[in-house]
Every structure is written in structure tokens, then in C-alpha cells.
Amino acid sequence: MTRSAIPALSLSLRKKVGLAAGRFKMISPGDRIMIGLSGGKDSLVLTLALAGLRRRSPVPFSLAACFVDITGGETDVSSLREFCDSLDIPFFVRPHPIVGIIEARNERSPCSLCANIRRGILNTAAKEEGCNLLALGHNLDDVVETALMNLFNTGRFRAFQPKFRQSRSGMTVIRPLVFAEEKKILKEARRLGMPVLPYVCPFSLDTERVKAKSILDRLSAGNPKIKYNILHALQYLDERDKWSQGEAEATAPTIPGTSLKER
């Protein structure tokens, strides 16, 4: 695969990545970014988006990509290596038998354990390669699903931050796809013929996230803008909306009705 054979992302996705990067001040001059490249559609689109941004941006930054092989080295990553080579992005592989560990432990929360292990491996790889930022491919749907999971299971309306510094590792995590819908990322990955790897996780069929996604799909069928409304609420929480133990000012609440335009 040659560099000239890889077309640019759609203007819509480029704008959403640029909006996220600018609004949350994700990238500064001289940053070295390690991309968590899982081989899924999100991380592949993220990689191409950042490669394009690197070419266009007046802010100089460098890129590398790391694949954590949860099978312990059994996955064929040649297509990912070729993809990264075509974008002039150094590619690294870190094999770890995460699937075997989960099976041996009969882990009750396999997704959480897997995410923690992979994050630790990516942090280590980023440090070893001199990177100060770790870029992950979480999209708008992931944000909203996480907010629903927290609301239903912990009673708190919150989701992960688009940019945050991990206190233990000292690594800063950025998520440039937080404004991009999953279906549009999937459509773009298919249009560009990206080398999406087969999904090898055997524990992902009956999870809290799958349940949240199902609920969100049903809600979206009746209100196509619901994802954007929830995203808006996460960014603009109003202190006046909280219940107070004292007397609240008698003001009429805002009545829903005006749809939020897609960002």
C-alpha cells in the first residue's frame, strides 16, 4: 500500500477531529503522540485523521502507533504495519496473553481488566518511545454509552474526559474522535477499505456497554438527536439544575423542544 493510494478522510470527520483537538487543546508544538492502534475501525480512522492533521497543521508534532496483541502474539499484524508504513508512522507491537489471563482467572469484569492491562502496556510503550501523549479511538457513541452506564449503575452523570493526565503514569490521554458518530466512522472505514482486523475478544457479547448501546439505539429511533443532546449536557452542566437542600429560585425550567444541531 503506497501513500498515494490512501485518500483523505471525509471533510465532516476532519472537521470533527479538528474541533475536538482545538476545543480541548489536545496537541501542542513538539508533542509526540502514541496512537493505541487496536486494528478496529475507530483506531484506524483515528490514525489516518492524525496523519492528515500532522500534514495540515501549523503545529508540529510526531506520531507513532502501538498494537497490543491480546492473544499473546498469535495475531497477524502485517496489514497494520503496512497501513502505518504508508502513512510514515512507526509501528510497534506489544504481545500480552490478556485473553488467557482472563480465562484462567474466570474474571467477572473482563472488559475492565482488559482495558486496564492494555492501558498500562500502551503507557509503557509510549514512554519507551519518548511520547508524552496517548491517543485513543473512543467516539461519540462511546461517550454517550459511558454516560448512560454511569447514570444507571452509579447514579452519576459523567463520562471519560476528552483529555486528561494520568496521575500514576504521568501520560496525558487524548480522544480526538469524541465528536464523531460510530456509524459515520464505520462508513468511512468501509469507503476507504481500511484493514480492519477480525474481532478476537470472546467476552464482548454480553457486557454493560452492549446493553447501553441497545438502549441508546432504541432511544435514537425516536429521537435521532439524542446522542448530541447528551453530549451537549456533558459539556454544559448547569449548576442551577442540581437539587438543592435549601430553597431554590422559582424559575420555570426550560422545556425541551428545540433540537440541538449536529456538531
- Nearest alpha-carbon partner for 128 in 171, 73, 83: 171
DSSP 40-69: SHHHHHHHHHHHHHHHH-SS--EEEEEEEE
Q: In terms of residues, how long is the chain?
A: 263
What mean pLDDT do residues 227-248 have?
A: 82
Question: What value does the mean pLDDT of the chain take?
Answer: 88
User: Pick from 75, 79, 10, 93: which is nearest to 48 by CA?
Assistant: 10
Can you give the pLDDT at residue 128?
A: 96
Nine cell digits for residue 186:
464505520
Give the residue, 262 or 29, on which the prediction is more confident.
29
Does this model's pTM top 0.85? My answer is yes
**Burial tier of 148 (Cβ tally within 10 Å: 0-12, 13-18, 19+):** buried
Q: What is the pLDDT of residue 259?
A: 44
Classified as helix, coil or strand, 153 is helix
**pLDDT tops 90 at residue 5:** no
Angle in degrees, 0-180, between the axes of helices 41-56 and 11-23, rounded to the nearest 10: 80
Can you tell me the mean pLDDT for 15-30? 97
134-186 tens-digit pLDDT: 999 999 999 999 999 999 989 999 999 999 999 888 899 999 999 999 999 99
User: Looking at residue 260, what is its pLDDT?
Assistant: 43
Q: Give the pLDDT confidence score for residue 202 in this predicted structure.
A: 67
Q: If DSSP codes are grouped into helix, strand and coil, which group holds residue 36?
A: strand
DSSP summary character for residue 167: T
pLDDT at 241: 78
Query: Which backbone phi and psi does 117 adopt, to 5 degrees?
Result: -65, -45
Phi and psi (nearest 5°) for 64?
A: -145, 165
Alpha carbon distance 217, 226 (integer Å) = 10
| One-letter amino acid of 154 | T
- What's the whole-number mean pLDDT along residues 33-59? 96
Going by the DSSP 8-state scheme, the letter that residue 7 receives in this structure is: P
Would the pLDDT of 85 be above 60? yes
Cell, residue 58 = 501549523
DSSP structural state of residue 3: G
DSSP label of 125:
H
101 or 12: which leads in pLDDT: 12
Q: How confident is the model at residue 108 (pLDDT cuts 50, 70, 90)?
A: confident
Whether the per-residue pLDDT at 261 is higher than 80: the answer is no
Dist. CA 88–CA 85, nearest whole Å = 5
Q: Grid coordinates standing for 174?
A: 487524548
The pLDDT value given to residue 178: 98
